[in-house]
Amino acid sequence: MSFQLTYIQEFNEVEGKLSLIGYFNISWVDQTIAWNSTENGIEQFTLQEHIIWKPSFIIGNPFDDVQLIYKDDTVMRVKNDGYVTWTPGDNYEVVCNADVSRYPFDTQICKLQMLPWGYTSEEIDVIPIYDSVVQFWFNPQQTWQFIESSVAKDKDIQLLEFSMTLKRNPMFFVLNLILPICVMIILNIFVFLLPPESGERVGYAVTVLLAIAVFLTISSDNLPATSSPRISSISLLLFSDVVISAVIVLMVILSLRYYHRDDNYPMSTFMRGFVIVSRILRCQVCCCMRKKEKCYGKGNKEKIKWTDVGKEIDIVCGIFIIVVILVVNALYIIDVTVGLPGLD
């Protein structure tokens, strides 16, 4: 027995359904219908499958219901020595639970199981013709690449298992999902460059937050609602971006609160020290290292206003968010390429 795959019609990751178009090549020897070809010169002929005996087979991992593999209009070829060839074909829908942990850079291993129905292992012996799925007339699919295949046999129940490794073509998802997410999270950083007097900072930050939340919803609709074997990397990335955007909104609100505070409001020693330390560590102070003593003196003696506190909060938060975004995206790239320890 062998399986000829002609086309991968659909792989629905959400439902865990793989639709394959192909046919089985099943052959056996039936001595009861053998004849002497020298008597009439006929060495072989064809006939409908319901005319002679044929073994009963079923798909071992069907998506819907268990049905026998047969079609009344399928032609069988019979040779004079009793060798019968039967090639039933159909659209086979099987169960394939997707591992979307590295979506959309994922690779799936799906199986098509074939086993005899109503026979014991002593009554029938199923032997694979090839050690892989036949691809003589295979038409490539645009979403999935067929990488490799193998055939395994369970001798106890005479089951043949055709394993197929499929790799997703990720370019469509990169252009329509990952790149827009990266653009939005980069735009999120520029909220700290908007003048506090513009009054648009909170609205800008909330808009980006909602946009990322929409992409999280879109991504969730294309993935199965399961955390086995683990949550997908893209979902973790989007969730991290949502958290980062929410933190940015809080940072913007905090910055505006201090920026618009009345100068007559007393300033704590902590806030004054925060501004001084921030100025010392910034490149603005580094540029005048040759006048280091003067800079220190100026920072200690200069009157610090609440607007200065708001500006320093913007600078510190902006740098912090940039570092966090770089770390999160670096972890995502590592995870989809080689995997992160503890997640696999």
CATH 2.70.170.10 residue spans of the chain: 2-168
Answer for the pair 94, 111: CB distance below 8 angstroms, yes or no.
Answer: yes
| Chain segment 33-64, per-residue pLDDT in tens | 888 888 888 889 888 878 888 889 999 999 98
- The tokens for 210 are 């909602």
Helix axes 179-189, 306-337, angle to 10 degrees: 160
Each residue of 23-47: b (16+ CB within 10 Å) or e?
bbbbbbeeeebeeeeeeeeeeeeee
Q: Give pLDDT tens digits for 101-149.
A: 888 898 999 999 999 998 888 888 999 999 999 999 999 988 999 999 9
Query: Residue 1 has which token pair?
Result: 């027995």
Residues 6+ apart with CB under 8 A from 9: 19, 20, 21, 91
Are the CB atoms for 84 and 25 separated by under 8 Å?
A: no
What is 171-263+305-337's CATH number, 1.20.58.390, 1.10.645.10, 3.30.70.940, 3.30.1360.120? 1.20.58.390
What's the mean pLDDT in 234-253? 90
Tokens of 114: 């074939």
**Contact at 8 Å (CB) between 6 and 91?**
no
Q: Which residues of 292-312 are buried (b: 16+ CB within 10 A; e: fewer)?
A: eeebeeebeeeebebebbbbb
Sheet of strand 57-59, all strands in order from the earlier edge strand to the far edge: 57-59, 107-116, 159-168, 144-154
Q: Which residue has the higher pLDDT, 178 or 150?
A: 150
What superfamily does domain 2-168 belong to in CATH? Neurotransmitter-gated ion-channel ligand-binding domain (2.70.170.10)
pLDDT of 66 > 50? The answer is yes
Domain with CATH 1.20.58.390 in the chain: 171-263+305-337
The pLDDT of residue 135: 92
